[in-house]
Amino acid sequence: MHYLVITDIADPRRLRRAAKICERWGERVQKSVYLMELDAENLQRLQSAMIKILHGSEDSARYYALCGLDIGRSSGEGLGRGLKPMADHWIV
């Protein structure tokens, strides 16, 4: 599953730590926005790592699931490679 991860972190040190974590899992598309392709287990690992550094009263991280159609309809200019739509899976 593709995810758009958006962070809003007040402290520069925590911001750098969060950026390093997110860049391990996906591509930075803006200063605090990342595109990632994660399965459920890796999403849980990412969320656990982020929870350890975020301060609930000052910081936030949001995880938006994107389907293949969303990725296929997206466009952009400039830096970045983007994500390709995942192959459709059918159960018959």
Q: What is the pLDDT along the chain (92 residues), one digit of tens a residue?
A: 899 999 999 999 999 999 999 999 999 999 999 999 999 999 999 999 999 999 989 999 999 998 776 666 666 666 655 555 545 545 54
Is 88 known as a binding-site position?
A: no
Domain boundaries, the chain: 2-70
Q: How is residue 35 annotated by DSSP?
A: E
Give the pLDDT score at 14. Answer: 96
Q: Do the beta carbons of residue 62 and residue 56 sit within 8 Å?
A: no
Q: Which of 64, 65, 66, 51 lies closest to 9 in space, CA to CA?
A: 51
Give the pLDDT score at 76. Answer: 63
Output the CA angle 81-85-89, nearest 5 degrees. 150
Q: Do the beta carbons of residue 5 and residue 69 sit within 8 Å?
A: no
What pTM was estimated for this model as a whole? Answer: 0.77
Domain 2-70 has CATH 3.90.1150.170: no
Give the pLDDT score at 44. Answer: 97
